[in-house]
Chain A
Amino acid sequence: MIHAVIVMNTEGKLRLSKFYNYKSPEEQPELIRRVYGALCRRPENVSNFVDSADIFGSGTQLVYKHYATLYFVFVFDNSENELAMLDLIQVFVETLDKCFKNVCEVDIVFNFNKMHAILNEIVFGGQVLETSSDEVMRAVEEITRLEKTSTNPISFVPKSVSGRFGR
């Protein structure tokens, strides 16, 4: 199964994390830091697999892909195929690209909920459920529609006001 999905930037800042086995808030930063430590050492144009037995337990490895300023990382065990996981990263990134029209790091930073919604359609409870980005888009759009139709009683407060006072 897939143990974790992590998106972080090339400076090690976390952008998205999902652990399919509970990790406490104390454990998480350490795991992320070690994943980053393993990734940032690797030169360009080398294979995308890293043994993560010392980070996520024996039998696990991680596959990563480096896009612009971001690392996309999937942690998995011996019930998954290495190359299939590599394809899955591709599916995930393609879907993000379709959703955000040329996805960049800022999109991922500001769309925390949407990111999770997309990921939940592709990987569910550590299992790969969907590999077609069109299907994922359809499901995510349905959720967005559903959330928009539910009326917000305080929507009369302009966004700009709340924004200005927030700073």
Chain B
Amino acid sequence: MATSTATTSSISSSLVDTLFQRSLDDLIRSLRSNPSLEPVLISRALAEIRREIRSTDQDTKSIALEKLTYLSAIHHVDMSFASFHAIELLPLTTHRCKRVGYQAASLSFNSSTDVILLVTNQIRKDLGSPSDPVVALALEFLSVAATTQLSMDLVVDVHNLLASSRFNVRKKATATVLRLLLECPDSVRIVFKKLVDNMECVTDQRIVSATVGVFCELSGLDPSLYLPLAPEFYKILVDSKNNWVLIKVLKIFARLLPLEPRLAKKIVEPISQHMRKTNAKSLVFECVRTVLSCLDGYGNVFNLALDKVKEFFISDQDSNLRYLGLLALSMLKPVYSWVVEENQTVIINSLDDSDPNIQHQALNLIMGLVNESNVIELSDVLVNQALKSDPLFANEILGALLSSCSRNFYELLVDFEWYVSLLGAMSRNPHCTRGEEIERQLVDIALRVKDVQPDLIQTARDLLIDPALLENPFLHRILSAAAWISGEFVEFSRNPFELVEALLQPRTNLLPTIVRAVYIQAVFKIIIFCYSSYLDKIENSELSCQNDSVGKDQVFETNSMTNSGCDDDSISNLLKTDDLFTYKCLSHMLNLIKAAVLPLSVCDEVEVQERARNVLGLVHVLQIPVPETETSTSKDMNHITNIVRLTQNAFSERLGPVPTNAQEKVPVPTDFELLDNLFDIKSILGEDDAEIPTFSSFLPRGWHHQETKVEESEEQPLESTSFLADHRKRHGVYYLSTEKHETVGGDEFPQANNYLDASITESVLDLTHKSLNPSSKSKTTKSRPVVIKLDGEESVLICDPKLGKKKGKDSLQGRDENAASLNEESTSVAKEISREAGHGNSVSRHHGRRDKKHRHSKHKNHLHENDDPKDGKHHKNPHSRYKHRKRDDDGSSTGLDVAQQSMDVPDLLL
């Protein structure tokens, strides 16, 4: 009894479902009526569907499944639970239900659907149906959802349809065969003959089109299998009038040509015919693509294709054609870079296009053109372009430049001074987000290319001194590198005090703490350098009476005059540089440092706090009053001298690049006893005891700071405001001024975006002219500085056909020899180094204490070598640095220079 009630109720509920079922349209309407409640409505509809779909009534079931299919297709609802219901609908005779079933199945079935095996017989039956739409449904399902098993079972049935007289069925069967063959490649033997027959079908071009499409897909997998069909394809290529078919046949030939080069001769003529006759751009483009990538050996057709590409360029209205024109050029093999060069103007103009595709393609082409003779010219064009472009493309340009210039240990670069200033210019691009890479390259170049260190410090100074750069968080990494360079190579700086001011400027509080720590450490190194130079000066000039009364500002003036005026006379230059390190300047600097670093000594970040305290401790020690006369050497002076010399020794040891496997390369000396007790270390430590206590004075100060922490933090804002005002007063150029002309007229430093200047273009043109003129080139070319490569780092051998093409030309020969000699040298350097290391030399930076005088003379050497003539130009004309600079030294002396430097490479663990 109970069961009968249940049956009745289930019948009645299904009747209610049937009577009041919502149609698909109702569902769509309800979803549209209230978009905000969509998820709720969908889950409600889903619950409804789950109930309805179990109905015994086929229409209720089919409507439910139809709604579910819709929700799945548009709202991505999972409908795998309804797989079996879909199969239930397939055998029904009403076309609607059958269609709903097939539609659901082809949308949701995949290889993990277990019930898919149940459909085989039904599909076979439907494939044999006299109704075209029914066969189409079954084929459609197979064409997207056939599994390997289904393909094996049904390939014969589909194969039979390939000969059907119903062309609609036949073309769909052809397309379905593709899926079956992809799932079950063995079945190719069954269908192959019919497919080939269909290719010759004369009654309906659509059959040919479908068949060629299938062969096109298949030839993409293994072209060699379809090589025997070449005559058939050739026949279609010659006879067919259908562009779709021709495009597909061309694609097939493009895949066959690499296997059978003799085909080229045959198809050249029909292709050029098509190119001449057709109006369809799609066919022209396909011909061009085939010719440029496969038929480049045939002059006539190649030139015709290039003409067509040019036509594409000219079409101003259609950005698609311009894009495809550039795309076609990028298909050219590198041997034909002259074609790209021919169209260089169009390509460079395309960088300005509003279309990102065109810009991207143009950039790719330009980067393909870059070689060492035009790298400067093109880079300047690109950096200018980056300033004008939107942020995305600007960074794409910068990224492309950075990666091609640094490729294979900067092999494209000869003029590193230029490149370093280019890195500076890139950093100044307001969109620049490539800080990390620029940081890496700055440090990398600093370590690898000794010659360029003076220029690096100039670039670093320009970056550090500009308060505007501190605002861009993407530049902080670059500033970190610049700060490190300013500390490490401070001896090349023209004005260390300026660096200190830049490093401690008020806005450095915008920097992340990790970068601030680098800044403070750089300050530490600069103090030591300044004091050491000061002490040197006193030692050297005990007889000459210095007029200490010269104020700081006056000293600065003298210094800048030095730089602009007495460039050639390096001795007088040096003397005047010495003027910089007066007692007043130093004490002024120490006061500045104290004011700026003091608040940081209570910083929460340990790295910053620790370094700030180190600096303060040093300042505290150094601030013991130095007698005005500077002639008497008191006990205090000796004390200071000791500290300064000691620390300077520690810092003067150069860091160099160290290969990762360096440790392994150090042979263990045979008489080396690892297990020996270190009992005699005490005596070594005892020797140094005399110096250690001097640092104990840090501690009381530190405690004092912590006690007065609260007071100080209150004072801090006041202090920093006055500090800010002070900074603004002295470096007004970098602050937004109240008067407009001030910023414009700031001739002391180059403006951030001075690249836009027209004079650059002139200088670039000038440069192009020079580089094109071989006689002037020999004068302008300077030798490439040594780029240290470690023997662990194998340079990637890139076969650059462009180089191959140009080899033998006089302009490049010198460069090649040069490179060879460089290689020789670098290996000799490596040998030298490894020999040194073999002797078990102590290598650690802090232990390697070289003879002071030797070190100092080295520095002086550098000051001589790194001829300051250029530095003067920097101030006079900010653009001059982009010019290819001449080097006064002749080749031979440079060679000696290089050799000397290679000996100077610090003893590294190699």
Contact = CB atoms under 8 A, between A and B. Distances in A.
Contacts of B132: 142
B172 A47 contact: no
A97 to B, nearest CB: 21
A147 interface: yes
A16 B323 CA distance: 28
A116 B70 CA distance: 11
A84 B282 contact: yes
Nearest to A140: B133
Interface in A30-48: 42-43, 45-48
B556 interface: no
A143 B133 contact: yes
A10 interface: no
Given A42-B356, A146-B133, A154-B59, A48 B320 contact: yes
B282 A81 contact: yes
B175 A83 contact: no
Interface residues on A, range: 35 or more
Contacts of A166: 20, 22-23, 26-27, 29-30
B36 to A, nearest CB: 13
B217 interface: yes
A67 interface: no
Interface string B170-200: 0110011011000000000000000000000
Contacts of A157: 19
Contact of A159 (B18, B23, B220, B251): B23
A49 B285 contact: no
A109 B95 contact: no
Interface string B86-121: 000000011110010001000000110000000000
Nearest to B133: A143
Given A20-B144, A124-B143, A129-B175, A79 B216 contact: yes
A53 interface: no
A143 B137 CA distance: 11
Contacts of B103: 113, 116
Nearest to B77: A25
B213 interface: yes
Contacts of B319: 45-47
A163 interface: yes
B76 interface: yes
Nearest to A152: B59
A28 B21 CA distance: 29
A26 B251 CA distance: 35
B358 A109 contact: no
Interface in A114-146: 116, 120, 124-131, 139, 142-143, 146
A124 B172 contact: yes
Contact of B32 (A43, A109, A150, A163): A109
Contact of B214 (A127, A146, A147): A127
B175 A125 contact: yes
Interface string A61-91: 0000000000000000011011110110000
Interface string B439-483: 000000000000000000000000000000000000000000000
Nearest to A116: B103
A12 to B, nearest CB: 13
Contact of A129 (B33, B171, B216, B324): B171
A17 B76 CA distance: 10
Interface string B795-819: 0000000000000000000000000
A110 B25 CA distance: 6
B247 interface: yes
Interface in B214-261: 214, 216-217, 220, 243-244, 247-248, 251
A130 B247 contact: no
A112 B70 contact: yes
Given A87-B282, A147-B99, A129 B320 contact: no
Grouping DSSP codes into helix (H, G, I), strand (E, B) and loop, the A interface class, with mixed when no group exceeds half, is: mixed
Given A112-B70, A146-B133, A157-B19, A82 B285 contact: yes
Interface string B315-328: 00001101110000
B394 to A, nearest CB: 16
B247 A129 contact: no
Contact of A79 (B70, B72, B220): B220
Contacts of B32: 109
B588 interface: no
Nearest to B353: A46
A67 to B, nearest CB: 16
Taking each of A15, A48, A81, A143, which has the highest tally of chain B beta carbons within 10 Å of its own beta carbon?
A81
Contacts of B47: none
Given A81-B282, A124-B175, A127-B213, A139 B251 contact: no
Interface string B415-441: 000000000000000000000000000
Contact of A28 (B76, B175, B322): B76
A112 B127 CA distance: 25
B210 A49 contact: no
A112 B73 contact: yes
A14 interface: yes
Contacts of B30: 166-167
Interface string B1-24: 000000000000000001111111
Interface string B263-296: 0000000000000000011100110000000000
A120 B103 CA distance: 11
B144 A125 contact: yes
A17 to B, nearest CB: 6
B201 to A, nearest CB: 14
Taking each of A86, A113, A151, which has the highest tally of chain B beta carbons within 10 Å of its own beta carbon?
A113
Taking each of A16, A78, A126, which has the highest tally of chain B beta carbons within 10 Å of its own beta carbon?
A126
B28 A109 contact: yes
B213 A162 contact: no
A47 B175 contact: no
Nearest to B131: A146
Interface in B41-93: 57, 59, 66, 70, 72-74, 76-79, 93
Taking each of B33, B57, B244, B358, which has the highest tally of chain A beta carbons within 10 Å of its own beta carbon?
B244
A1 B136 CA distance: 20
Nearest to A27: B76
Contacts of A49: 320, 323, 357
B572 interface: no
A5 to B, nearest CB: 12
Contacts of B352: none
A159 B548 CA distance: 105
Contacts of B133: 139, 142-143, 146
Contact of B94 (A26, A150, A163): A150
A79 B206 CA distance: 18
Contacts of B176: 124-125
A65 to B, nearest CB: 11
Contacts of A163: 22-23, 25-26, 29
A125 B21 contact: no
A133 to B, nearest CB: 14
B59 A46 contact: no
A124 B140 contact: yes
A162 B23 contact: yes
B153 interface: no
B323 A47 contact: yes
B355 interface: yes
A87 B285 CA distance: 14
Interface of B: 18-30, 32-33, 57, 59, 66, 70, 72-74, 76-79, 93-96, 99, 103, 110-111, 131-133, 136, 139-140, 143-145, 168, 171-172, 175-176, 178-179, 206, 209-210, 213-214, 216-217, 220, 243-244, 247-248, 251, 280-282, 285-286, 319-320, 322-324, 354-358
15 contacts: A16-B74, A17-B73, A25-B76, A50-B357, A78-B251, A83-B281, A86-B282, A129-B206, A129-B209, A130-B171, A147-B95, A147-B96, A150-B95, A153-B59, A165-B20
Given A15-B74, A25-B76, A28-B76, 5 more contacts: A43-B355, A45-B319, A46-B357, A49-B323, A116-B103
- 3 A-B pairs closest in CB distance: A125-B143, A83-B282, A166-B22
